[in-house]
Every structure is written in structure tokens, then in C-alpha cells.
Structure 1
Amino acid sequence: MKTKGLYLIFAVMLLAILAGCGKTAPAVGDSSANASAPNTASPAAKAAPKVIKAALNTVPVPLFSYLDEKNQPAGYMIDYLRELEKKLPEYKFEYEAVDNEGQLIGTDTGKYAFAANFWFKNPEREKKYLYPKQEFGYSITGLAIKPDRNDIKTLDDLVGKKLVPMTPVSGFRYILKDYNLLHPGKEIKIEDVEKTTPADDLKLVESGKYDAHLLNINHFEDAVKKLNLNLKIGGVISKESVYFIFNKNQPELAQKIDAATVELIKDGTLPKLSEKWFKVDVFKSLEYVQQGYKFRKEN
């Protein structure tokens, strides 16, 4: 319950600060700043930006979205959202913090125009939501194991092993499903769990109850550092494209954010943000990312 409370505090503070960042002071001489000033509004004056309701995650995600030591919103995704707001002044984003299931339901029903999270793409979600063509980043996936093991480095090594259970909405489940489709008779067993956290999952590996856990590298590093867990990454196995998901009735918004994202990659903004937060340019090849992570581990 204490952990859940911290997540809710994070969500409330993050949204309050983001909302405050969106406020602008009236310009000098503007009628809203000086009631006695004559109304000189030009017919060509810009229309007020369209308010767009978006869902954010309640749970802080290491390096993606969290509150820093000054209680300021920080992370790769937060910087990305700010860059989008610069590129698309015709919109004003308003955020509401909800859990993953709430984001999916709210976006499907139209309560939110889009859900700002690092969503994987899969056939089930593509039936319900609009995905941009361009990913805004990548989730780097690794295998967490005990430090005395050298027998688990790839997905092939998980056959016959006990993998930590996954929730039904876990994007990593689709990595395993794709693997199993390509390896009939040599499938990786997938166990189910209703809810879990990266910290709890990693504790199961450290205890020896399970052989390995498939997870985002950033979650691994954050949990190991905070909980002083005696674990290592046996291998970096993939970089999964991540996207925002949009309500089906928001094609124009999705297209504009898609185009802005392409520009932010081409002009080097997102690769630089990746270097800033992840210490490696995740837009480069998996081999490059694997070497970058190896360098981080050794240093």
C-alpha cells in the first residue's frame, strides 16, 4: 500500500507541475493584462489552441517519466512531450494520470485523445487504437539472472527454464509469443499473474524461485540500485519500438504528432535526448545498443 501511495503522489505532483508549465503570462499591452487598453485585436489573431486530453502513467518509469530530486517532471518521454508542444502550438495538452488499464479503456472510449506511455504494438491493440507510423523511442529488453549463472543469454536459453510470470497487458508477452510461433515444439513457457512490479519480479529471480525475468533495462537498473539486489543482465535481446496510442477518431492529431516525431528524429533532437537519458542512441542498431550497454556495465 505504501508503494501505491507513492505512485499516486508522483502522479498528482507530475500533473500539477506539467499543468503549471503550460500557463503563460499575458503579454504587455494585451487587453487581459490591462482592462483599460483599447480592443485592437486583429482579425488575423491566432485562435486559441485546441485542448487535447491525454492520459499519463501513474507509475514512475525510470528515465522515461518520473519526478526528479527537485520534484520536477523529468525523463525522456517528458522531454519528448515538451518538444511536441513546441512543434504543435495549435494544441494544448491536458494530462490525467491513470494506470495502464485505465489508459487503454479511456483512450478506447474517447475519454482521452491519446495515452502517453511507451506502448508496444501488437495486433490486438491495433484493432482498437491508432498507432503513429514512427516510434518515438525504444524499450531495450534484457534478461535478468543471478550473477553466478552464465547459461541464459538469449531467448533460446529460456526453453525449459522458469520465467517470472507476466501480466496479460505486458508487452513482453508478445516477444515470447512471436518466438514460440517460430519455434514449435521448443516454446518458452509463459505463466500469468494479475499484477506485479519490476522490483517484486526481480526478487523472485534473486530468491532462486525463477530462473530469469524479461524486462526493460531501465527498470532493472533502477530496482537493483534501490533495493541492492544481487543480479545481472545475462543478455540484451531486443529493442522494441514504443509509441503513444490514439483514439480511432483522432487521425489528424495522430498524423501531426507522427510528422513532428519524424522531424525530431531527423534534426537530431530525439537521438540527443536518448543519449542524455539512456547514455546510448537507441535509434541506432541493436548491436550498437548492446555495445553501449556493455560499456555502461563495465563503467
Structure 2
Amino acid sequence: MKKQKWLLSLSIVGAVFLGACGNQTDSSAANADENAETIIVGTGNAYQPFVYLDEDNNLQGYDVEVLKAVDEKLPEYTFKFESMDFKNILTSLSTGKIQLAAHNYAYNEERGKKYLYGEFAYNTYAHHIVNSDSAGSPYETLADLEGKKVFASPGSEVAYILETYNKEHNQAIEIVYNEASSEVLVKGLENGTADAAILTKFDTNKYNEQFNVQLQASDKAIKSAGIFFIFQQGDEQLKAAVDGALQELSDEGTLSQLSIDIFGDDYTK
């Protein structure tokens, strides 16, 4: 096992990151392996509990903890985190500012043509249609959303699901592109800004408790997918190393335990 050595670089505002890659905080560089190759990991800052900044601006979350555990398995690398707005992560991967993207990414064909996906899923992600109980019964299928307004963050997996459906169904769903906070999203569902959103049941339950509302989710997931780290095209060596470390962490039960500790259940299988 390597010595502990977490290098964190924060760029809370996307424009600041794109201009200068943010302010760097190196709290443990003295402990880093001197001959290790530094890998810049691009991740988000506002998607709790997967990846977010706590009240002290420290990077936290499941994706972060998994990568720390991976880094401990790989003495040839030192992971350095760049925290940025979600929309900037894959752009930064394209331009070579980062070498690994981590933000709860599921596979889709559009991204698969541009980037190299890992082969080991470190989490699973099930999408459910969610709406306020005041709107009536839950929507169960994408067809139920035709003629409805549905929240989606630009460039997200949810946006991809809705856009793909619309291509095949004459733009039947009105996509409300929004990068709003959780509170604004919930209020939007409650006041009719949008008729529905697509969330995990974990997020739905969290919002119900956090905001004292009654959002309801479809019984069945409209899509379940593995969650992967993303690399630059051609970076097979780094991908293979990370995949191998993830396999070890899975076999040891570390991934399952991290999921239970952070989410309250094992979502790795």
C-alpha cells in the first residue's frame, strides 16, 4: 500500500477553471511517491453524495472515496483532483487538461465515440421517472411523458435518454434544460415548472426527507446502467490499471462497504 497522499485542486467556478485551472491546495505532497506519474482527475463539486464540496471546501463523496482506494492500489500513479462544474469535466478531458473523468458516468454511444470508458462498473445507476404526488399517479414510461415538461441537466445521461427518445418520437417530450440546485429542482416539480424529472430512488428519498415533500418514483426503472470512469482515447494503460484495482477492491468487499457507508445500501451489484 502506498503512503497516504491526496492532492486536491479546487475550481468551484467553471470559468475560473477554464482560465487557470483553479486554486490548488496541496495538503500532502510530501507523502506522494516521488517517481509516480501524476494523473489529473476531473470531477464535480455539487452532486452529493457522489461528489461534492463540504462546508470546508473539501472534496467528498462516493466517487472520490473509490478513487482514493484505487490510488492506494497503484503505486505508479498519484491522483490529483480538479473539482469543477459538471459541464466542464468532459471538455477538460477532450483538451487534455485532465486524464480521468469521474462523475457517476453511465455509458452512452455518443460519449463512447469520443472517450475511452473503463470496463469495470464501480456502481450501478437506475433511472426512475419522478413527479410530485400532487400531480396524480406516477409516470411509468417515457411514453407517459409525451407532451410533458421534464427537467434535465445539459450533457447528462438523463438528457441523453430524453433526446434519444425525442429523435425517435418527433420531439414528443419538452426537455427543460436546467442546472438548478436540488432545492430548485424540487420546487420546480412542486410548482409545475416541470412535470417530471428522472432521478434515482436514492435521490428521490433524499429529497423527500430533506425538503419535506412527497415526490413519487415509477415502480420500474426506465434504464439501469453500470457506472464507469472515463479516460482519454488511447490511454489503455491507465484504464487497465484502474480496472484492475477496481476488481481487487470489489473482490475484497471494499466497494460494497463504501456504498453501504455512503448510500446506506450496496449499489455496486
TM-score with structure 2 length normalisation?
Answer: 0.78
Assess if the C-alpha contact under 8 Å between 1:54 and 1:96 holds in 2. Answer: yes
Is residue 105 from structure 1 mapped to residue 91 from structure 2 by the alignment?
Answer: yes
Q: CA deviation at 1:251?
A: 1.6
Q: Is 1:49 equivalent to 2:36 in the alignment?
A: yes
RMSD over equivalenced CA pairs, Å:
3.4
What does residue 189 of structure 1 align with?
A: 173
Asked whether 1:215 is paired with 2:199, we answer yes
Cα distance in 2, alignment partners of residues 272 and 144 from structure 1: 28
Q: Which residue of structure 1 lines up, in the alignment, with residue 5 of structure 2?
A: none
**What is the one-letter code of the residue matched to 1:20?**
S
Determine the C-alpha separation between the residues in 2 that align with 1:272 and 1:241: 18
Structure 2 counterparts to residues 74-85 of structure 1, below 5 A: 74-85=60-71
SS of equivalent to 1:77: helix
1:75 is matched by which residue type in structure 2? G
1:171 Cα deviation from its structure 2 partner = 0.5
Please tell me whether the aligned partners of residues 51 and 59 of structure 2 are also in contact (alpha carbons under 8 angstroms). Answer: yes
**Offset, 1:180:** 6.4
Deviates more, 1:155-164 or 1:123-132: 155-164
Kindly indicate which of the two structures has a greater share of residues assigned to strand. 2
Cross-structure match for 1:95? 81
Matched residue of 1:20: which SS?
Answer: coil
One-letter amino acid of the counterpart of residue 131, structure 1: Y
| CA apart distance, 1:274 | 1.2
Q: Taking every aligned residue pair, what percent have the same amino acid on both sides?
A: 26
The residue number in structure 2 matching 1:203 is 187
Equivalent residue for 2:215, pick from 214, 225, 231: 231
Q: Which residue number corresponds to residue 277 of structure 1?
A: 262
Alpha carbons of 1:110 and 1:69: their partners in 2 closer, same or farther (altered >3 Å)? closer
CA shift at 1:266, angstroms?
Answer: 2.1
Give the aligned residue type for 1:89. Answer: P
- CA shift, 1:140, in A, is 3.4
**1:62 shift after superposition:** 1.4
- Preserved contact between residue 131 and residue 139 of structure 2 (Cα < 8 Å): no
Unaligned runs of 5+ in 2: 1-10
Question: What is the alpha-carbon distance in structure 1 between the residues aligned to residue 108 and residue 128 of structure 2?
Answer: 20
Give the number of aligned pairs: 252
In 2: Cα distance, 1:134 partner to 1:282 partner? 14
Using the TM superposition, give the Cα deviation of residue 7 of structure 1 relative to its aligned residue in structure 2, in angstroms.
5.4
- 1:251 aligns with 236
Match for residue 268 of structure 1 among 236, 253, 269 = 253
* Counterpart position of 1:174: 160
1:164-186 Cα distance to aligned partner (Å, 9 max, x none)? 242440201333456668xx669
Indicate the structure (1 or 2) with the bigger Cα radius of gyration.
1
Matched, 1:24 2:24: no
- Secondary structure, counterpart of 2:237 in structure 1: helix
Matched residues in 2 for 1:167 and 1:156: separation?
Answer: 17
Instruction: Tell me how far 1:75 sits from its aligned partner.
Output: 2.0
Q: What is the letter of the counterpart of residue 272 of structure 1?
A: Q
Q: 1:105 to 1:267 in 2, by over 3 A?
A: same
Q: What amino acid is aligned across from residue 189 of structure 2 in structure 1?
A: V
- Per the alignment, residue 130 of structure 2 pairs with 144
Closer/same/farther in 2, CA of residues 187 and 209 from structure 1, 3 Å limit: same
